Structure formats: C-alpha cells, structure tokens
Structure 1
Amino acid sequence: MIVSVLAIVVLSVGPASAQTNTVSGAVRYVTDGDTLSLRGVDRPIRVWGLDAPERNERGASAATSTLQRLVAGQSLTCRVRDIDRYGRIVGQCFLPDGRDIAAQMIAAGVAREYCYFSGGYYGTCRGN
C-alpha cells in the first residue's frame, strides 16, 4: 500500500510540475549548438525549440561556437518544459537581459526552430 501511494505521488509531480519550474546558474560549458550545462544544475539542458546541426553535420561547429559566444560568462534562467529521453532538462533559456537563447540562435542563422516541439513559437515554421 505504501508503494502504491508513493507511485501516485511520484507520477503527480512529473511533467506538470516540470513545466512550472525554473533552473538558473552560470554557464559551466556548452556541449553543442543546442545543449549546455549550468553550475549547480545536475542535468544538462537541451534548449527548447532549437534544432542545431549534430556534431557530424555541416554547420555544427558554427552553431556550437555561436552558442558559446552568446552565453560565455552569463547566468541563465531556464523555464523547464520537459525532461527528454536522455534525462536532459528541456528548457527555454534566457540571458540576464531577457533575450531568448533559441531566438538568438535562430536569428543568427546557425540553428533553426524545432517546429515539432515549439509549435511555431518563434514564427519560422511553415503555416505561421
């Protein structure tokens, strides 16, 4: 019976609470053009709504270096939107001045909007 109650409690704080939480911290390092780590946050953060080229694809190094320049020395605040299948936080991340990381990367032309997940939030998906 205790196990059943525990299971209900764990399930009830899953995605719903994840969507209302935020994490913040100084940027520790950039993994690639759409993933980074913050000091004090145990999991890597996959930037929500952003699709950057993978390491073996053309444009990957440009995306990674652009993200590095954008966030270097910054403290970010990320609204937790989900946890992906790799255990990463999927977060909509903002610079101290309020600029949205994904919007900046899309505007720089080094990544594109991940329309499947963003629902056209950044206005670059067909049909918007």
Structure 2
Amino acid sequence: MTPSRFDFAGQVNRVVDGDTFWISGQRTRIRVWGLDAPEIGRAGGSAATAQLSGLVSGRSVQCRLRDVDRYGRIVGQCWLPDGRDIAAAMIASGTAREYCRFSGNYYGTC
C-alpha cells in the first residue's frame, strides 16, 4: 500500500482487547476490520489481548477507514510499518479468527 491510501496513522498507545486499540491523536477506539477475537473474560480473550499488545503496543500503524460501528468505534484495516496486515497476523497466530460476516472472506479463512 502507498501512504496516500491510508486515512489515518499514529502510534498505538493502548490495547483494549484482542481486536481493539487506541491510536494517539484519535478520539475514538480503532476496531480492527475483518478480525474477531474472543472478549476479555472468555476463553482465549487474555491470549488474544496479549498477542495484539505484543504486535502493536507502542508501534506506529497506518489504517484505512472501513466503517464506523454501532459503538462509534472506527473500523479500520491497519498495517504495521513492515507492511504486515494486523488482522492477518492475528489470524495467523491462532488467537483470533476472520470476521467472515464483514470481511467477505478477504483473508481466505471463511
């Protein structure tokens, strides 16, 4: 992706759970598009949160706006500086799965 295709970018300053984080300078949380991670308090929730935290905490990310969800969160497809798609990395780790209802099998795991 070229930088002109990104809608926003910034440093991740807080991971909420396995599919949601805050970017410095944004007024709302970022929900990772195409990703479905277990909620905190459910089986696998802590592992998914730890995995996402290890992947993005303190790192710069670039995102493309995909939607705004019913909770007012930005739903973004996001990439790390090395070009890795965050959702793809989480799916590959086995701590989260593709959110097929919204992704349209983008990651090929539906």
Q: What TM-score comes out, normalization by structure 2 length?
A: 0.93
Q: What TM-score comes out, normalization by structure 1 length?
A: 0.80
Report the identity percentage. 64
Partner residue in 2 for 1:44: 29
Residue correspondence of structure 1 range 1-128 to structure 2 within 5 A: 22-125=7-110
Please say which structure displays the higher CA radius of gyration.
1
Q: Which runs of 4+ in 1 moved over 2 A?
A: none
Q: Which amino acid aligns with 1:119?
A: G
Asked if structure 1 preserves the Cα contact closer than 8 Å seen for 2:22 and 2:29, the reply is: yes
- Cα offsets for 1:87-127 (capped at 9, x unmatched): 000000100111000000000000000000000000000xx
Q: Which blocks of at least 5 consecutive residues in structure 2 are unaligned? A: none
CA RMSD of aligned residues (A): 1.1
User: Which of the pair is proportionally richer in helix?
Assistant: 1
Matched residue SS, 1:37: strand
Shift of 1:32: 0.1
Tell me: higher relative CO, structure 1 or 2? Use CA pairs within 8 A at least 6 residues apart: 2
Q: Which blocks of at least 5 consecutive residues in structure 1 are unaligned? A: 1-19
Q: d(CA) in 1 for partners of 2:29 and 2:8?
A: 11
